Chain A
Amino acid sequence: MKRRFLFASNCFAEDFSSMQQQGEERKEEEPEVPAARKSPSTEAADGGWAWGVVFHFFLVNVLVMGMLKTFGIFFVAFQEEVGGSSEQVSWIGSIMSSLRFLGAPLVAVVCKSLGERPTSIIGAGLVGGGCLLSTQATSVPFLCVSMGLLLGMGFACLYQAAAVMTAKRCRTRLAFSNAIARSGMGLTFLIAPFTQLLIDFYGWQGTLLIFGGIMLNLVPSSMLLRPISTQPPQRSSAKNQDCGSLMAKKDSETLDGCSDETTPREIQLRSAQDLPTTEGLLMSHGRDVSGPVNTSALERLKKPPVDSCSPEIATEAKRSYKSLPPTEKENSQPLLDFSPLKDPVFCIFTWSFLFSHLAYFVPIFHLVARARTLGISSMDASYLISVAGITETVSQLLSGWVADQNWTKKYHYHVAYLVLGGITNLLCPLATTFPLLMTYVVAFAVFCGGFMALVLPVLVDLVGVQKLHSYLGFAAFFAGIAAIGGPPLAGNCNVIYKLYPPQTSSDKTCSGFTLLPICIQGCFFCPSEKKKTKMHFRNLSLYTGNILLVNLQNPTSSLTAAWKKRG
């Protein structure tokens, strides 16, 4: 009885702590904590650490994005000093930004073996070291390695570790925390003038030196990525995870039954994880629980001689498995987990991730050109861009907050944002005056911000935290491939459409790109709840056909003829 109450109050308190910054209140809420469990102060600290993780992710976003965006300023300085043509120097930038994505699977492996905190510290060290090494650069290949490779891998490490840690720590408020962290990207506009100032004062070498120092700041903030467990990992992680649901109350009976066999706390906690999943969880947190449940719990349950309990628990766990493929067969999670590649949910998610990234950049690119062709001055055009940036940041925060209220599933919001974004893009050729263009920009930024903030929470909802590393790694890998190919593709579309007024072409391209993720999302959100693999494949094939059609049309003239007819 006592234990049941403890679980309940603990869960409640854990939720509370991630919502409030002061964990001290919890001490008052739990007067009956036994000495055997983790002390409430560390519980409170756990809640406080969640904000630390968000802060670290925020810093990572600011510095990583800032560095990537200000690379253009360094580009000019490099070209003069080190020589080399613009293509050679631009390789550095592209290696840097693409490795950030492409290195993700490797980083996922490292994270799993070492843990997030060491990985993040390694990442920060790589970035700082890369910057410092680049000050000694004398030739372009040197810079490619020192700046491109080291920095790229460092960014990948930092990003992956921070994203997964955020997902692990902030259960109830994942969307909002993610949004806060992503809003760091909005601040990067400050870094560009700062960099220019530094270059004027110190030259590019001095600037890189100072940047190296600033990046080293990520080391102490990486230390905030405290692993969830400070005591035996299985036990505390189990406890933290089951706090996502309040249904541990009902476990008491089974717990007592099993507890006699092995260490009371351990089995109790593990079985407590299993049982909540059988309660027909509709909460998305349930999936978080079911993920780790099967892997960690079942592994260990097989070893201790708890015959009476384990079959029961195992079957319950099997029943509870909804969207994840059954992992009872796996005894251990391999380091490099290729299972995401076989999972249809993953394929669909990655497709949509890919296309939405493609669609994200294109409108902003062409916005200024469009404004100019419409006769709007470049001052006003840059004003448009800054409005877009600010609106996007604000809408990210709002959508994160709204999603966290759990009025409906997060992916419903995701789909809604994408659909509305696609519609906005389709309507954008109608925007021919400055106010209309401003409306388009604001609407697009709202929807883009909304959906960007939800990418990580939706992925967490679908696959659970335990597998997040591999999924995120591979998704980022494919997104990286897309990122390399995206701008040239969009540029190609522009080339083909050169015969036609650019305002119609680029926007039709981008609306095409935006509609694709909508189709994909639309198809996969319905079945994901019910785990109907057949439906996945059927829908996937339907929409893959659609995708292929659009892809084929893009580089060929058939589409241009089609557009021409529409006029």
Chain B
Amino acid sequence: LLGVSGTSMEKNITLDSATIIELSCRLDNKYSHLKSLQVTWKRGNETIRHIDKTENSWSIQLKILDSSKLGNYRCILKGEEEISAIFYLQVPKIEGKEKPIVSYEGDSAIMICKSFGYTPIAWTWYKINGSEQIAINDSLVADKYVINSVSANVTHLKILKLTKEDDGVYWCEAAFELGRSKGNLKLKVLSLMVPLKPFLAIVAEVVILVTIVFLYEMYSKKKEKCA
């Protein structure tokens, strides 16, 4: 990890299980002329000890055992200017869907959550009602919800017999050794009338046009016969 003078650097590190991790800040060779550098590693406000120092790099070793150890770690180089680099240690992100999933009443909808690269221990689905989370338990309401894991990294929630109440926000939560991560999905349930109205409007227009053409033909045929 290289430090660049004047700017602040960030790096995301994704961890899904307990590990020992070493974070190091290394200074580019062209800046090695800067003397009297002081390096501190901080997490929040607390300073971390156990610095291993080499020629141009400073590193710390962390034992990440649970979610309490995750967070932002900063290495601060104090010279003439202050340079800092931030490491974000976090659990893997879950991909939900930004666009709402549209489905119809009486139909079924499938909501898919994926985790990339990292395998969660367990998946849980929640439905958000107002500000409450309600866990979806498929064994309780077996004919309504079916939770399927196609593979360990992907989970499917299939909702059968959709009604208007099923409309709303859903969360899929993946449990990792080091914490939990959520993905966001929105479901929109439409009644059948919604697309039917434009369709009927178009059909009406078609019928009108057909009638006009037909009448014109009858009219011109009559004209021919008379003429």
The answer to whether A and B belong to the same complex is: yes
Indicate whether A81 reaches chain B with its CB closer than 8 angstroms: yes
For this complex, into which size category does the number of interface residues on chain B fall? 20 to 34
The stretch of A207-215, A376-384, A394-402, A445-453 in contact with B is: A207-215
Once bound together, how far apart are the Cα atoms of A231 and B225, in whole Å? 10
Q: Are A41 and B227 in contact (CB under 8 A)?
A: yes
Q: Would you call the interface of chain B mostly helix, strand, loop, or mixed?
A: helix
Q: Known contacts A217-B209, A219-B206; is A39 also within 8 Å of B223 by CB?
A: yes
6 cross-chain pairs, A with B, having the tightest CB-CB distances, nearest first: A206-B195, A203-B102, A213-B202, A220-B209, A39-B227, A223-B213
Q: Are B202 and A220 in contact (CB under 8 A)?
A: no
Q: Are B220 and A45 in contact (CB under 8 A)?
A: yes
Contact with A along B204-222 (1 / 0, CB 8 A): 0110011011100100110
Name 15 A/B residue pairs within 8 A (Cβ), A-sorted. Answer: A39-B223, A39-B224, A41-B220, A41-B224, A41-B227, A205-B104, A205-B195, A206-B104, A216-B206, A217-B202, A220-B213, A221-B209, A223-B213, A223-B217, A224-B213
Q: Known contacts A80-B110, A210-B199; is A223 also within 8 Å of B210 by CB?
A: yes
Q: Known contacts A80-B112, A230-B221; is A206 also within 8 Å of B99 by CB?
A: no
Once bound together, how far apart are the Cα atoms of A22 and B199, in whole Å? 35
Indicate whether B44 reaches chain A with its CB closer than 8 angstroms: no
Q: Are A226 and B209 in contact (CB under 8 A)?
A: no
Neighbouring A residues of B199 by C-beta, 8 Å: 209-210, 212-213
Neighbouring A residues of B107 by C-beta, 8 Å: 205
CB-contact partner of B224 in A201, A221, A230, under 8 A:
A230
Q: Are A42 and B220 in contact (CB under 8 A)?
A: yes
Indicate whether B190 reaches chain A with its CB closer than 8 angstroms: yes
Neighbouring A residues of B190 by C-beta, 8 Å: 202-203, 206
**Chain A residues within 8 Å of chain B by Cβ, number:** 31
Q: Are B194 and A202 in contact (CB under 8 A)?
A: yes
Indicate whether B103 reaches chain A with its CB closer than 8 angstroms: yes
Give the residues from 206 to 247 in chain A that come closer than 8 angstroms, CB to CB, to chain B.
206-207, 209-210, 212-214, 216-217, 219-221, 223-224, 226, 230-231
A-B contact sample (5 more), CB < 8 A, given A39-B223, A39-B227: A41-B223, A199-B102, A220-B213, A226-B217, A230-B224
Once bound together, how far apart are the Cα atoms of A202 and B196, in whole Å? 10
Q: Are B102 and A202 in contact (CB under 8 A)?
A: yes
Indicate whether B51 reaches chain A with its CB closer than 8 angstroms: no
Contact with A along B72-101 (1 / 0, CB 8 A): 000000000000000000000000000100
Give the residues from 17 to 74 in chain B that come closer than 8 angstroms, CB to CB, to chain A.
none
Closest chain B CB from A334 CB (angstroms): 31
Neighbouring B residues of A210 by C-beta, 8 Å: 195, 198-199, 202
Once bound together, how far apart are the Cα atoms of A213 and B199, in whole Å? 6
Once bound together, how far apart are the Cα atoms of A80 and B156, in whole Å? 11
Neighbouring A residues of B202 by C-beta, 8 Å: 210, 213-214, 216-217
Indicate whether A38 reaches chain B with its CB closer than 8 angstroms: yes
Neighbouring B residues of A205 by C-beta, 8 Å: 104, 107, 195
Contact with B along A59-81 (1 / 0, CB 8 A): 00000000000000000000011
Indicate whether A29 reaches chain B with its CB closer than 8 angstroms: no
Q: Known contacts A41-B223, A213-B203; is A206 also within 8 Å of B110 by CB?
A: no
Contact with A along B101-117 (1 / 0, CB 8 A): 01110010010100000
Neighbouring B residues of A202 by C-beta, 8 Å: 102, 190, 194-195
Once bound together, how far apart are the Cα atoms of A61 and B172, in whole Å? 45
Closest chain A CB from B199 CB (angstroms): 5
Once bound together, how far apart are the Cα atoms of A73 and B206, in whole Å? 26
Closest chain A CB from B189 CB (angstroms): 10
Q: Are B220 and A209 in contact (CB under 8 A)?
A: no
Closest chain B CB from A16 CB (angstroms): 19
Neighbouring A residues of B195 by C-beta, 8 Å: 202, 205-207, 209-210
Residue of chain A at shortest CB distance from B221: A230
Once bound together, how far apart are the Cα atoms of A221 and B210, in whole Å? 8
Contact with A along B177-202 (1 / 0, CB 8 A): 00000000000001000111011001
Once bound together, how far apart are the Cα atoms of A35 and B226, in whole Å? 10
Q: Known contacts A202-B190, A230-B221; is A220 also within 8 Å of B210 by CB?
A: yes
Once bound together, how far apart are the Cα atoms of A73 and B223, in whole Å? 49
Give the residues from 182 to 202 in chain A that come closer than 8 angstroms, CB to CB, to chain B.
199-202
Closest chain B CB from A204 CB (angstroms): 8
Once bound together, how far apart are the Cα atoms of A230 and B203, in whole Å? 29
Closest chain A CB from B7 CB (angstroms): 26
Q: Known contacts A216-B206, A217-B206, A220-B210; is A81 also within 8 Å of B220 by CB?
A: no
Residue of chain A at shortest CB distance from B107: A205
Q: Are B206 and A213 in contact (CB under 8 A)?
A: yes
Once bound together, how far apart are the Cα atoms of A535 and B206, in whole Å? 53
Q: Are B198 and A203 in contact (CB under 8 A)?
A: no
Neighbouring B residues of A221 by C-beta, 8 Å: 209
Residue of chain B at shortest CB distance from A39: B227
Closest chain A CB from B140 CB (angstroms): 26
Once bound together, how far apart are the Cα atoms of A201 and B110, in whole Å? 17
Once bound together, how far apart are the Cα atoms of A207 and B220, in whole Å? 38
Neighbouring A residues of B112 by C-beta, 8 Å: 80
Neighbouring A residues of B104 by C-beta, 8 Å: 203, 205-206
Once bound together, how far apart are the Cα atoms of A448 and B182, in whole Å? 52
Neighbouring A residues of B110 by C-beta, 8 Å: 80-81
Contact with B along A31-54 (1 / 0, CB 8 A): 000010011011001000000000
Neighbouring A residues of B206 by C-beta, 8 Å: 213, 216-217, 219-220
Neighbouring B residues of A207 by C-beta, 8 Å: 195
Closest chain A CB from B94 CB (angstroms): 17
Closest chain B CB from A169 CB (angstroms): 16
Neighbouring A residues of B209 by C-beta, 8 Å: 217, 220-221
Closest chain A CB from B56 CB (angstroms): 36
Once bound together, how far apart are the Cα atoms of A226 and B199, in whole Å? 27
Closest chain A CB from B166 CB (angstroms): 14
Q: Are A219 and B221 in contact (CB under 8 A)?
A: no
Closest chain A CB from B106 CB (angstroms): 12
Once bound together, how far apart are the Cα atoms of A210 and B199, in whole Å? 5
Neighbouring B residues of A201 by C-beta, 8 Å: 102
Closest chain A CB from B113 CB (angstroms): 13
